[in-house]
């Protein structure tokens, strides 16, 4: 069930959405016109769950092309909702834009709740009386800033919402699109959905919120998260851009798969690699997508070079895919690869199969020996998922070397198609481990391995090495060009 939150610019729609959902999902700023695309945020009240669709302010007199796109997005939200909430500003009184919105809602035939915002004290409540003139029924006095009247507003919304008996589906892949500004993330989303679901403009930074879009592809349910472009911190000057970048990072935290969208014109840049590293550190399965590939006439040799760069720079060895969001070339294949990555995050490998793999691995390359005693890999099992986590029982953790641990990890990736998927491997010394409730065999992640072979807190699969073309380590350099 969905509620479309609509109104004139700067009446406090996003602030009200954040207050009702008790989140900070919607970007709020004193400047008008910050919200552009429609953003869906889950809300719960008295056991009822529904979705609030935050929309951009609708000004019918503004001739700017972006304003026209905002109006289209708000109208699409109304068409998709079962209830509408018209938000007005008590301090400004009735404005022509409010009357135009009320007329639009009357034609939509939706039940409407009129929320009079910025009623910050009981003395302000009488000012709601003039809004009866909009013909939207009894106004509800509310303050997004103070929280006054929000319970009454939620009661009214849940009364008007029809009953929803649909059970939640847990088998959903959450897919985050991240990347630098203006590389084509929103265009790619629109290609998948087959409609202008998010606003696309040649102006960098058009997307300012993270937009969650439920979607079904070849029978699989997904939630696509379109994010704002992420620039290096030295270039983030506006407070609005700071908060949108922060939301992009939070979108990665709650995603299963991250697609790092790059421009084929620039190739995979140092900033693209940084963004991919961020996704991997948050435990996301990751792939890089070179967008606009066919627009710049790049060759197979160029692609081989870019793939080699990603493999050399990133420990998880993510795949490098090509697509053209503008023409639609390969966009379905990118989505198929994303679903495969999501399945690899949740899949389990049978224990007998893992132990056959372990035997073959030790036959291919003997484990290292120290002071006449050789490392033995005795037993292997998968003990977790999201991301996949494995335990290998060994005779001595002190004999596990960095090189051999990475050799095992890379063989594991190659055997089971785990390129781009975070992998955690625990090396447990025989006789020192304990069984956790439920029977999972757990131990410290690589801790206890000798200091000369591993850093104490290193996790296999999360360690990323940064070198430039000359082999110079630039891991501490935050001042990278885009």
Annotated binding site for GTP: 7-14, 54-58, 117-120, 179-186, 226-230, 291-294
- Cα separation of 254 and 249, whole Å? 9
Element (H, E) at 4: strand 2-7
Report which of 251, 256, 257, 213 is spatially closest to residue 229, judged by C-alpha positions.
251
Cis amide leading into 387 (omega within 30)? yes
Helix axes 300-313, 270-281, angle to 10 degrees: 50
Name the maximum alpha-carbon separation found in the chain: 91
Q: Detail the residues annotated as belonging to a binding site.
A: 7-14, 54-58, 117-120, 179-186, 226-230, 291-294
- Cα separation of 279 and 284, whole Å? 5
For the chain, give percent helix, strand, coil, nearest 5.
35, 20, 45
The owner of tokens 């919105």 is 101
The DSSP result for 331-391, as a single string, is HHHHHHHHHHHHHHHH----HHHHHHHHHHHHHHSPPPEETTEE--EEEEEEEETTTTEEE
Residue 207 contacts residue 247 (beta carbons within 8 Å): no
Range list of β-strands (E), 27-171: 39-45, 48-54, 83-89, 112-117, 140-141
- Cα separation of 437 and 390, whole Å? 17
- Cα separation of 9 and 66, whole Å? 13
Range list of β-strands (E), 249-344: 257-263, 285-291, 320-322
Kindly report the backbone phi and psi dihedral angles of residue 303, in degrees, each rounded to the nearest multiple of 5, phi listed first.
-65, -40
């Amino acid at each position: 069930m969905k509620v479309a939150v609509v109104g004139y610019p700067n009446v406090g729609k996003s602030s009200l959405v954040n207050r009702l959902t008790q989140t900070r999902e919607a970007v709020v700023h004193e400047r008008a016109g910050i919200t552009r695309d429609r953003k869906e945020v889950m809300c719960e009240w008295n056991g009822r769950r529904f979705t609030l669709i935050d929309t951009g302010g609708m000004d019918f007199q503004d001739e700017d092309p972006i304003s026209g796109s905002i109006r289209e997005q708000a109208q699409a939200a109304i068409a998709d909702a079962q209830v509408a909430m018209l938000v007005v500003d008590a301090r400004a009184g009735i404005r022509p834009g409010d009357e135009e919105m009320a007329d639009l809602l009357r034609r939509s035939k939706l039940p409407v709740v009129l929320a009079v915002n910025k009623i910050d004290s009981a003395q302000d409540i009488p000012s709601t009386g003039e809004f009866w003139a909009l013909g939207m029924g009894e106004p509800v006095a509310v303050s997004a800033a103070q929280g006054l009247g929000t319970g009454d507003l939620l009661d009214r919304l849940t009364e008007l919402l029809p009953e929803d008996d649909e059970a939640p589906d847990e088998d959903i892949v959450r897919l985050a699109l991240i990347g630098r500004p203006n590389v084509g993330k929103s265009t790619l989303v629109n290609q998948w959905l087959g409609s202008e679901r998010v606003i696309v403009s040649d102006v960098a930074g058009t997307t300012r919120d993270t937009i969650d879009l439920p979607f079904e592809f070849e029978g699989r349910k997904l939630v696509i998260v379109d994010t704002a472009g992420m620039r290096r911190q030295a270039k983030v000057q506006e407070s609005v851009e700071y908060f949108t970048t922060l939301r992009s990072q939070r979108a990665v935290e709650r995603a299963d798969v991250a697609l790092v969208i790059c421009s084929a014109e620039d190739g995979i840049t140092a900033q693209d690699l940084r963004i991919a590293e961020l996704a991997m550190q948050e435990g996301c399965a990751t792939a890089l997508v070179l967008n606009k590939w066919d627009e710049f006439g790049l060759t197979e040799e160029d692609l081989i070079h870019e793939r080699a760069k990603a493999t050399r720079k990133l420990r998880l060895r993510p795949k490098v895919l090509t697509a053209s969001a503008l023409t639609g070339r390969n966009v379905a294949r990118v989505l198929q690869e994303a679903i495969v990555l999501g399945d690899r995050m949740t899949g389990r490998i049978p224990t007998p199969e893992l132990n056959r793999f372990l035997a073959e691995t030790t036959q291919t390359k003997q484990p290292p020996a120290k002071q006449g005693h050789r490392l033995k890999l005795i037993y292997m099992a998968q003990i977790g998922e999201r991301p996949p986590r494995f335990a290998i029982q060994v005779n001595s953790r002190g004999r596990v070397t960095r090189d051999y641990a990475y050799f095992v990890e890379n063989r594991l990736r190659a055997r089971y198609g785990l390129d781009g998927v975070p992998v955690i491997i625990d090396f447990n010394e025989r006789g020192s481990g304990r069984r956790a409730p439920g029977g999972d065999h757990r131990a410290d992640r690589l801790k206890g391995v000798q200091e000369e072979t591993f850093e104490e807190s290193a996790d296999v699969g999360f360690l990323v090495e940064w070198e430039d073309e000359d082999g110079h380590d630039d891991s501490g350099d935050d001042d990278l060009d885009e």
